[in-house]
Chains A and B, each alone.
Chain A
Amino acid sequence: MPDAMTDAMRATASAAEIAEAVVTGKVAAAHVVEATLRRISERDKTLNAFTAVTGERAMARARTIDAERAAGRRLGVLAGVPFAAKNLFDVAGLTTLAGSKINRDRPPAAADATLVKRLESADGVLVGTLNMGEYAYDFTGENAHFGPSRNPHDITRMTGGSSGGCGGAVAGGLVPLALGSDTNGSIRVPSSFCGLFGLKPTYGRLSRAGTFPFVTSLDHVGPLARSARDLALAYDVMQGHDGNDPVCVRRAAEPTLERLQQGLAGLRVAVASGHFKRGTAPEALAAVARVAQALEVTREIEIPEAARARAAAFLITASEGASLHLPRLRARACDFDPAVRDRLLAGAFLPAALVMKAQKFRRWYRAQVLKLFESVDAILAPATPFPAPRIGQQTMQLEGAEVPLRPNIGIFTQPLSFVGLPVVAVPVPLSPLPIGVQIVAAPWREDVALRIAHVLEETKTVATPLPAE
């Protein structure tokens, strides 16, 4: 077998490598997809990342791509790249579970979600749907109905939620690319726990059409991958207006791939202080310090009232989430994951005055945060306060106090998604477990965060720890 062919078929091949090999005819898309399906059937018994594998569809798609290449069509930038989507994305013919038991009774989706279509328009190949925390109200990757997705670096540990299957599938070498969603940190948390690159774009940038919502005023969708380049590749083909998502902006696509190698020239970067240095295990601070050192960043910047922003995000999440699920809570409360049900019920009883205050604060806070970007282009912050905890773990020792685990996982992600800022999570390969750092940019400047991520990759400061082949 020629080297290029085996390279593109190995578990750790990047999306860019696979596409290059398929476009140039060094390997058939069908061979890549076959190898992927085989790996999923072998490894997913342990990782529990997938809830459905669309093998027949994937093989048919791959053969079509190969036939069209043979007929002279110029293939897209994701030619033959296998990808999977969190199971809140519609996939034609499958029921959109959103991690729940209740949704099993819904009819199968009639069409693919917009982002699935866009990745396939670039000749990517969907191979299945991924496990997630129920209705995305989760930071752990655990699921009472489908079992927890397991962290490939230590299967007794959490993948992080709610896009837990995305974390396990990409870090475990099952696929190079996954589609996730992030309401309060659900792309960035699994990226941190599993050691991946994750992009949560600016609110309104990528279409959520054909996804099962959670908190529409906070829901984002985006990719997880093993390199900044793969994020950029996928992100660029997913951009563009979509009338089927009311918040998706009318804004021309702003390609990031061509800017990826522009380096740090002209970029002003600072480390978030205050809230982002408190309530955390030493690993998170060490990871930020390592990234700051590599970028030669010494400046610190305070994001004002970040702790309050996190609290306000909690209130709005609970209240909006509960309002979405109220009919299901009334009719089928016992069919929810008990932990999710209790959070939603609590949300249903929140006084309106509190939620109004949170919304009012959000306006003020947004203005303050936007002002920061007059003097800085990117801000560094930890992604999670600690590396992946054990599955089932309920509490955590932080700064000498025992605190509940779940609500603390998102303390650093929530204040940023709260006002829709674009963030790239990058993996610092600490031992024994990786942990993520957030690169936060001004609205619509995903390119800046990706450029910095790429520099860090080039200097080997950040990298996805690779599973054994």
Chain B
Amino acid sequence: MHIDLPEVVAEVREAFGRYEKALVTNDVDTLNALFHRDERTIRYGTQENLYGHEEIAAFRAARLPIGLDRTLCGTVITTYGRDLAVASTLFHRPSLAGKVGRQMQTWVRFAQGWRIVAAHVSIIAARGEVPGGA
């Protein structure tokens, strides 16, 4: 098992970047494409538990597309072998003053490319994390 093969990390970083861009521009089609289309795909959000790609897609469609901008910090992407990766990041939003968001994603490489199979987002009180860092 090779951990953090540079070319694999680069691939996941690229997919992670596409996801981030789609998220802040409310590009729902890309967000839906990057989550694995399967009923076993799970996303625990800050307010909701979403089981299966359909529930996740319905959540995306219903989202109010304002105030989505955010700044990432403390992003860590670790790959295990060539087909599995975990991406963790903190995020700050103007609307979340004094708080910090946390996002963890499990990425798997399928024939069609890297897809998220599980994700968890939560928000806690900030403890000195620096917006825009790392």
How many angstroms from the CA of A156 to the CA of B61 in the assembled complex?
14
Which chain A residues lie closer than 8 Å to B54 at the CB level? 101, 145
Tell whether, in the assembled complex, residue B27 and residue A147 are in contact, meaning their CB atoms are under 8 Å apart: no
Q: Are B66 and A155 in contact (CB under 8 A)?
A: yes
- Chain A contact residues: over half helix, strand or loop, or mixed? loop
Residue in A45, A46, A147, A156 whose beta carbon sits within 8 Å of that of B58 in the complex: A147
Q: Kindly provide the distance from the CB of B45 to the nearest chain A CB, expressed in whole angstroms.
A: 15
Whether A247 sits at the interface, judged by CB under 8 Å, is no
How many Å from the CB of A277 to the closest CB on chain B?
A: 35
Minimum CB distance partner of B64 in chain A? A156
Could you give, for residues 22-45 of chain B, a 1 whenever the CB lies within 8 Å of some chain A CB and a 0 otherwise?
Answer: 000111100000000000000000
**A341 to B: closest C-beta gap in Å:** 15
Contacts of B26 in A (CB 8 A): 45-46
Q: Which residues does chain B contribute within 8 Å of A48, judged by CB atoms?
A: 61
Complex CA gap A144/B62 in Å reads 8
Complex contacts, B28 vs chain A, CB 8 Å: 45
Say yes or no: is A146 at the interface (Cβ < 8 Å to chain B). Answer: yes
* Closest CB in chain A relative to B65 CB, distance in Å: 5
A145 and B58 in contact (CB under 8 A), knowing A45-B26, A45-B27, A46-B26?
A: yes
Cβ of B127 within 8 Å of any chain A Cβ, yes or no, is: no
Q: Are A146 and B61 in contact (CB under 8 A)?
A: yes
| B70 at the A interface (CB under 8 A) | no
Interface residue total, chain B, C-beta cutoff 8 A: 13
Q: Is A148's beta carbon under 8 Å from chain B?
A: yes
Interchain CA distance A45-B54 in the complex, whole Å: 18
**A residues less than 8 Å from B60 (CB atoms):** 147
Interface residues on A, range: 10 to 19
Kindly provide the distance from the CB of B48 to the nearest chain A CB, expressed in whole angstroms.
12
Tell me, rounded to whole Å, the shortest Cβ–Cβ distance linking A15 to chain B: 28
Give Cα distance in the complex from A216 to B28, angstroms: 35
A156 to B62, CA, bound (A): 11
Whole-angstrom distance between the alpha carbons of A459 and B25 in the complex? 41
Tell me the complex Cα distance, A89–B28, Å.
Answer: 25
A8 to B64, CA, bound (A): 32
A345 CB to nearest chain B CB (Å)? 21
Chain A positions within 8 Å of B27 at CB level: 45
**B27 nearest CB neighbor, chain A only:** A45
The answer to whether B62 touches A155 (Cβ under 8 A) is no
Q: Which residues of chain A in 86-128 are interfacial with respect to chain B, using CB atoms and an 8 Å cutoff?
A: 101
Docked complex: B61-107 residues within 8 A CB-CB of A: 61-66
Q: How far is the CB of A150 from chain B (nearest CB, A)?
A: 8
Taking A147-B61, A156-B64 as known contacts, 13 extra A-B pairs with beta carbons closer than 8 A to each other, sorted by chain A number, are: A45-B26, A45-B65, A46-B26, A46-B65, A143-B61, A144-B62, A145-B61, A146-B61, A147-B58, A147-B62, A148-B62, A155-B65, A156-B66
Pick the 5 closest A-B CB pairs, nearest first.
Answer: A147-B61, A147-B62, A46-B65, A146-B61, A145-B58
